[in-house]
Structure 1
Amino acid sequence: MKIFSGALVVLSALVAVAVPGAARAAVPAAEPVAPIQYAAVSDCAEDPHDAAQCGPWWYRTTDGRRHRLDGVAGTTQPVAVSGDGRRLAYIRAKDARLVIRDLDGRTRASRAKAWPSKSELDVTRVRMSYDGSLVAVDCCWAGYTEHPARVYDAATGALLGKVPGVSVHEDALSFSGDGDQILVSTDKDKSGTLSVHDLKGRRTAAVVPPPLIGDNAATAALNADGRTVAVYVTGRKPRIALYDLQAGLVTATYPVPASGQKIERDPAEDRIVEADTEVRLDWTGDSALRMVRKVGFKPVRVQVYGIEIPSGSARPQRAYAIARTAGEAVSGR
């Protein structure tokens, strides 16, 4: 192999000499691509010709450009964007496969359908880890499916494992800060269980947290240490609460700014909550959280905060509004 490689080098040199005046233009460096700020589906009222799916999906990058995102299945939450804005994932309409798309346009698809039952495709959900390395797909109302959530490697589209007992409308699934564990919160019989799984779906821990954590576990985020869980506590005075899975204790609470959220009483939970508010928490370091809060509906106001632990200081990083959309997947960039 060394002789062959050397011959190639000599041949390349001869070709270069044999072509007088041949241009040796430098290969231009690839232009940096702006991260994805959010993906969205157009408002039905604004796009009446495609009202069945509320218009086509598209995504906007932080440089203000809008890009098409063709072929997205009309599911409940079919598109996810990584927290760092470097990747997005969606379920493809024509074959129900999961597609992962990079900023440079490269895509990968799962080998098989992201969800085996076509009749259940309208109630599936896609989730991504903060760094975009992992994707999860889950489905359906609790008790109406025996299919577990599926976890994929975003770099290859390969199926890594399956997590049993996760439903879109009752449970929440997220990835740990270092991307090697999966946190699931379930609300079966009001138990509010938190369980930790490895990437193959095997459960490694399960606890029933106190109401402060269990009632707000839809926003639960697991630290890279595998034991510290952060949740967003909804209400008139929102805050971040930290819970130690091993000790079974709430270790700290930190106030975070309110932003004119509509406050109402949830009769099912019998507690005060923030209406039309959606929050995502991500651990961006061992002692750093990022909070992305969506408030309102048409338009949606997005607020991004960086939260330092243990001081609890919450610093605004960016804020913007999204108008004339019927659904959004926000990165936080």
Structure 2
Amino acid sequence: MKRTLLGAAAVALAVGGTIVPAHADTTATTTTTKSTAAESDAATARMAWVGACKDADGLSHPCGTWRVRLRAGGTVTVAGAAATAVDARGRKADIVAAFAISGDGQWILYERVKDHRLVVRKVAGGRGTVLPASLTRKGTDSLRARLSHAGDRVLVEHNDEAGREPGKIVTVATGKILKLPAADDLEGFSGDGDEALATRHNNDNTTTLVAHGLDGHSVAKVPPQVVMNASTRALSADGHTVAVLIGGNADTRVPPKLRLYDLTTDRLSAAVTLPLKPDATVYLAHWTGDGRLTVKAHTGGDEKPTVVRVLTVDTTTGAVKPADTFTVTARNYTWLTAGE
């Protein structure tokens, strides 16, 4: 169901210029006393990673198997998932294969090792759905894929410098493919998966932000520069409210901020401060279908442990809750979290 979020949210977020934590404890809990929550965590992905190997020249490349860490603390090995992509001739490329986790953490997407077809299945296991072969006929070394929050749709895009290959929305249950304008760079799904957010570079050096609906309707606007300079953006289920995450600055001790932008009215909410350290990298935001916003940031790296913090934001009240904190598995070639 579509809901208009910006009106109430802009008022809530503008108060005081700071999002108010729901409680003072900023450390996330990773256990629960409720059996139903524990059962859900046991089949919910927190992150995924693939290992790294070095060749004779000491250069690192992806190898081994994809593994998924669960919120309950266990690890699932994704048998049959390719670590590396292939080119249009089917030759192995030293590029990591496509992998994605739905925003709700319940579904994964991967390249099938035997033929590099894309597969979507539950994190908990079971029979997967193999997507149409046409999606990977040009190889997978230029392919990017994202799952919707509920795992029922997939965004597929090839890094096409000529701008001739259209992006695609695939409905998992039916295999139906909707083609999007080839000139658009896809960013992700809306909270309910009914729209896709994209950018389009114009000849006058401006950039258009556009939301494409599955029904063929689109909403587009050339937004303020602060929107386009954002660390990351995410489209709400209403199809026009965009969460805009602005990176912090460790030198000036300015922490990351959040604003909301409306594609239909060109309205931009006041900037509000997130309860994160200035050196935290805000790298991901995604909405649920009912209007809840999740923000993810990480600190560390450069031989220091990478720590991910997950926050949930109530855009109607301005309250923020710490949802999870975890350290990324060491010695990985690449890693990703739910919603990527």
User: TM-score band, normalised by the shorter chain?
Assistant: 0.7 to 0.9
Counterpart code for 2:331: R
Distance in 1 (CA, whole Å) between partners of 2:198 and 2:318 is 25
Distance in 2 (CA, whole Å) between partners of 1:145 and 1:242 is 30
Per-residue CA deviation, residues 290-323 of structure 1 (Å, 9 max, x unaligned), is 1122334363211100111133222211101112
1:293 equivalent to 2:297? Answer yes
Q: What is aligned with 1:137?
A: 156
1:64 equivalent to 2:85? Answer no
Q: 1:327 to 1:283 in 2, by over 3 A?
A: same
Deviation at 1:212, TM superposition (A): 1.0
Per-residue CA deviation, residues 158-210 of structure 1 (Å, 9 max, x unaligned), is 1331222367xxx442111222111112445642211111226x451211000
Counterpart code for 2:154: V
In structure 2, runs of 5+ residues without a counterpart are: 1-38, 86-94, 250-254
Deviation beyond 4 Å, 4+ runs, structure 1: 48-51, 187-190
Which has the larger Rg? 1
Deviation at 1:285, TM superposition (A): 5.3
Secondary structure of the structure 1 residue equivalent to 2:269? strand
- Identical positions, percent: 31
Paired residue total:
279
Per-residue CA deviation, residues 135-157 of structure 1 (Å, 9 max, x unaligned), is 1111215x33521112122335x
Contact 1:138 1:166 in 2 (8 A): no
Distance in 2 (CA, whole Å) between partners of 1:123 and 1:76 is 10
Q: 2:224 aligns with which of 210, 221, 235?
A: 210
Distance in 2 (CA, whole Å) between partners of 1:300 and 1:77 is 22
Contact 1:37 1:62 in 2 (8 A): yes
Contact 2:296 2:308 in 1 (8 A): yes
Deviation at 1:37, TM superposition (A): 1.3
Secondary structure of the structure 2 residue equivalent to 1:53? strand
Q: What is aligned with 1:152?
A: 170
Distance in 2 (CA, whole Å) between partners of 1:313 and 1:187 is 35
Distance in 2 (CA, whole Å) between partners of 1:45 and 1:300 is 21
Q: 1:45 to 1:313 in 2, by over 3 A?
A: farther
1:89 equivalent to 2:109? Answer yes
Contact 2:220 2:264 in 1 (8 A): no
Report the TM-score, using the length of structure 1 for normalisation: 0.74
Report the TM-score, using the length of structure 2 for normalisation: 0.73
Deviation at 1:289, TM superposition (A): 0.9
Q: What is aligned with 1:326?
A: 333
Contact 2:102 2:149 in 1 (8 A): yes
Structure with the largest fraction of helix: 1
Per-residue CA deviation, residues 66-107 of structure 1 (Å, 9 max, x unaligned), is 222233243456100011110000123432321001123220
Distance in 2 (CA, whole Å) between partners of 1:161 and 1:140 is 18
Q: 1:106 aligns with which of 123, 127, 133?
A: 127
Secondary structure of the structure 1 residue equivalent to 2:141? helix
Contact 2:258 2:273 in 1 (8 A): yes
Q: 1:278 to 1:256 in 2, by over 3 A?
A: closer
Higher relative contact order (CA 8 A, sep 6+): 2
Distance in 2 (CA, whole Å) between partners of 1:249 and 1:211 is 13
Distance in 1 (CA, whole Å) between partners of 2:133 and 2:190 is 26
